[in-house]
Each structure stands twice: as C-alpha cells, then as structure tokens.
Amino acid sequence: MSFVSQWQEIERTLPASWADARLLITIPNEEDCDRAAALLGPANPGRRGKLIRLFAARRGAGPGPDAIRRLLGRLDQDGIEGSLELVGTDEAEPTPEIARATLAAEWDAALETLPGDWSDLYAEVELTSTDHLERAALLLAPLNPSLYGGKPALRFRVARRFGYGASAGMARRCLERLDEAGIPGELHVLRVLSDSKPVGTQGPVWYVGGKTV
C-alpha cells in the first residue's frame, strides 16, 4: 500500500478533535531510508536507523495534514516502500463557549450610546435562523414589527415621548420575551432622530428602500 493511502487510512481513524499526530515510518532498505529522510526534509523528520518519525499538526506549528500527504507522495513517486503507523495523538482543548448578551441587555446598552435628547429610532432584531421568525413576530407584535430584505430580521420603530412607534419600555419588554423564549439574535439601532417635534402628524417619516417606515 502506498504511503499516501496509509496516511489516508490513519486520518480516518483520528478523532474529530485531533490536534496533532505522531507518525512512524519504517523502511526496510537502508538506502531507501536515506532518500526518504531527504525527501521528507521540510517536515523536519527524526531518524534512527530504518525508522523515521514525523509530526503532523492540524493547527499551529508543524506541517498540516495536506503537507504530510504531499511529502509522503514524494516517497511513492520515488518508488520507496515501507509502512506508516500512528504512534500517538493529542486532542485540541475544547473552545469555551462565549456567553451571548441577552437582547434586553443589548437594548439597554444601545440606549446608553444615544444622545440625551433622542426622540425616535428605527431598530432591527436579526435572528440566527428563519425557524424563529414566526414565533419572534408574535412576541414582538406590540412593536408592529416588519420583515425587510432577505435576512431573518424584524424591524420596528420606537418613540421616546410621543408620536409613531412603541415606547422604549415596551420595546425592552418585548425583547425580554424573546430572551425568555430562548430565541437568539442581535439588536441593531439603524436610525435615530433627536428632539423631533411633529406638528399635526404622528412623527417623522423615514424612507428605506423607497418605502416609508
């Protein structure tokens, strides 16, 4: 069996989270072993007699799986025969999960960045999946949410004191409902107006994509 084929067999046995693999090549013919060590030079192999040791690293320092495959291919092309075996492997440390901020917390943080006299805003909750759209629209119903574009996102307006849009308190409560239902997403404040004073209207009008919102 070729060295490349042997490596492919070894790869299939490695755990999904493998980080590095220690390999041992045994070549019966000592002259072939000399040539093999030279051909494998870029991998910085260690040799003792007819044994050659290699180290494959999935990430970080050291030749990766594809590089090992190419180097072993050199041995096959040169007609060198021998065996390849796995003598040890280490698994990668699990990546710690990063806690996602709740939508209510994102809302609080967003309000802190607004000017003190803000009066109207246009916001969006972008969901992680379209599977959540129907349920999220129901929970956000008091905000009169609307779909926009091709992504799983719901947009709504908020009025601070008067005019068109839900109150800031109602917006926060609706976002809390999404958190309580376990619906993940991100909040984006898209547009903000300060100190608007509508006269005989329900508030300012924004045009987005040629439509009023």
The pLDDT assigned to 201 comes to 62
Residue 157: which of 117, 208, 105, 199 has the closest Cα?
208
> Do 103-195 and 3-91 have the same topology in CATH?
yes
Q: 108 with 40: CB under 8 angstroms?
A: no
- Domain 3-91 belongs to what architecture? 2-Layer Sandwich (3.30)
Helices 65-77 and 3-13: crossing angle, nearest 10°?
A: 150
Domain boundaries, the chain: 3-91, 103-195
Q: Strands 153-159, 118-127: parallel, antiparallel or unpaired by DSSP?
A: antiparallel
Domain covering 103-195 assigned CATH 3.30.70 in the classification: yes
Helices 168-180 and 103-113: crossing angle, nearest 10°?
A: 150
* Residues 6+ away with beta carbon under 8 Å from 179: 102, 103, 104
Alpha carbons within 13 angstroms on the beta-carbon side of residue 36 total 31
Q: What is the pLDDT along the chain (213 residues), one digit of tens a residue?
A: 899 999 999 999 988 888 889 999 999 998 899 999 999 999 889 999 999 999 898 876 678 899 999 999 999 999 999 999 999 998 877 655 556 789 999 999 999 998 888 999 999 999 988 889 999 999 999 999 998 777 899 999 999 887 788 999 999 999 999 999 999 999 999 999 887 766 656 666 666 666 776
